[in-house]
Amino acid sequence: MEFKIANIQERKKQLYITVYDQLYKLIMNRTFMLDSKLPAEPELAKMFGVSRMTLRQSLSLLQDDGLVKRVHGKGNFITKIPTNNQKIGLDKIGNPLYKSHTKLIDDVEMSFRIDLDSEYSQQVLCRKSAAVVAFERWYKSEGEVVAYSFTNMAIEAVAELNLDLQDSDQLLEMLETGIYELANRSTIDIKRSTSVNSSSQKHKVVGGEDCDLLLESVFIYEDYPLVYNKYYIPRVYSCLKVNAVK
């Protein structure tokens, strides 16, 4: 890739801010494309006529913005291209994974099992049940598993929603979008987790063990949630956003 970098002569701003601005423009005008690797740090520093320390300060700001991620031993990569459209945040009811993941999810694999009611399920579902359906979902982008979710639903809720456990398409549609269309409110607790890839997992999630964990209760009824979701998003792909208004 060949392009010219204008000489940086502005000194009113701190130098690393000026470099940040220039890099941001290159990302915005698609000189650097989504998922592409930036030139090596020595090459970038030479392009801008700055020290590597100054360049790394600029890259840190881009990492804070969620535009660049650093992969140890491989370099810096563009993670997303910003747009002028305001992204729907976690303040609106809807599947939080799609609002928080920087990768394009192109496939979802699902499996489920029926478990006995337990103290844990009673706690998260706020009621006793004859049994609990435990759903697992693996979210894929270009063949790689980039997120994972675990869902608890009381067997009584399956009947209330007229779901057929033999119809996987119906189940997946309900979990992904249907419950959010029916919901009148939801709560989300955000935590950190390093336990996404256990030895019993069917698929390994790429992107590292360090994840943002979204604990979500989705309510149709006032007294108890319809489902309790746990969404694991590797932090290299995570972008949590809340649109606060007054």
Which pLDDT score, from 0 to 100, does residue 85 have?
A: 46
**Is 1 domain-assigned?**
no
Residue 4 lies inside a defined structural domain of this protein: no
**Domain-located, residue 147:** yes
158 and 223 in a common domain: yes
Q: Are 220 and 226 in contact (CB under 8 A)?
A: yes
* Domain presence at residue 63: yes
Region 159-181: mean pLDDT is: 94
**Structural domain boundaries enclosing 223:** 96-237
Whether 101 is covered by a domain: the verdict is: yes
* 3 pLDDT above the threshold of 70: no
**Is residue 100 located within the same domain as residue 50?**
no
Same domain, 70 and 101: no
**Burial status of residue 104 (CB atoms within 10 A of its CB: 0-12, 13-18, 19 or more):** exposed
Which is it for strands 211-219 and 185-193: parallel, antiparallel or unpaired?
Answer: antiparallel
DSSP notation for 129-149: -S-EEEEEEEEEETTEEEEEE
Token duo for residue 221: 């009824």
Number of domains in the chain: 2
Lowest mean pLDDT among 6-10, 109-113, 122-126, 177-181: 6-10
Q: pLDDT tens across 215-238, in order?
A: 999 999 889 999 999 999 999 999
- 87 falls within a domain: no
What pLDDT digit, counting tens, does each position of 175-212 carry?
A: 999 999 999 999 999 999 988 887 677 899 998 889 99
**122 found inside a domain:** yes
Considering the domain architecture, whether residues 101 and 74 belong to the same structural domain is answered as no
Statement to judge: residues 206 and 150 lie in one domain: yes
Distance of CA 128 to the CA centre of its chain: 32
